[in-house]
Amino acid sequence: MPVATLLEKALVTVKDNGFKYTKKRETLIDFLIKNNRYVAAKEVYDYMNDLFPGLSYDTVYRNLREFCEIGIIEDTELHGEMKFRFSCNEDFGHHHHFICNVCGKTEEIHMCPMDFFKEQLNGCEIEGHRFELYGRCPDCQRK
């Protein structure tokens, strides 16, 4: 899907969830769409602060967390640090990833292993889960 379409769809979701449109929010989302990988909040902040001098790190981080809650941004802990990326699922729906340990690129996994685990945990109520695979993408294997 083209970047402009993804951005438009994300901004509609932002508005539908009660957030005001701001150029800063649009810029943050656009940065993550174009990077198409997991990035540290500090990297997002550095980019944003260059464009909007004086912007606080807390504001950037709060927006990243809020956008995770509404599903347009995904987060993961990679190398002991929280990282963020634009949702690779066009409908911002449930999915899982393979994540490259070197560059942070991701590949969407088109199945969920929860049915297997539900069978193993008879009587338990699962309230959430995360399933990620880690390794090296083809580009990083060649380096």
Consecutive 10-residue averages of pLDDT for the chain (143 residues) = 81 95 96 91 97 96 95 86 80 72 81 76 78 89 90
Phi and psi dihedrals of 142, rounded to 5? -75, -20
| Residue type, position 2, single letter | P
We find that the CATH architecture of domain 3-86 is Orthogonal Bundle (1.10)
pTM assigned to the model? 0.73
The Cα 5–Cα 140 span in angstroms is: 29
Name the nearest CA neighbour of 101 among 48, 140, 44.
140
pLDDT for 140 equals: 93
Number of helices followed by number of strands (H, E) in the chain: 6, 6
Counting every residue, how long is the chain? 143
pLDDT for 25 equals: 97
pLDDT for 13 equals: 93
Q: What is the CATH number of domain 96-142?
A: 3.30.1490.190
| Residue type, position 101, single letter | N
With contact defined as beta carbons under 8 Å apart, do 51 and 25 qualify? Answer: no
> Domain segments of the chain: what residues?
3-86, 96-142
Q: How many Cβ atoms sit within 10 Å of the Cβ of residue 100?
A: 21
pLDDT for 94 equals: 67
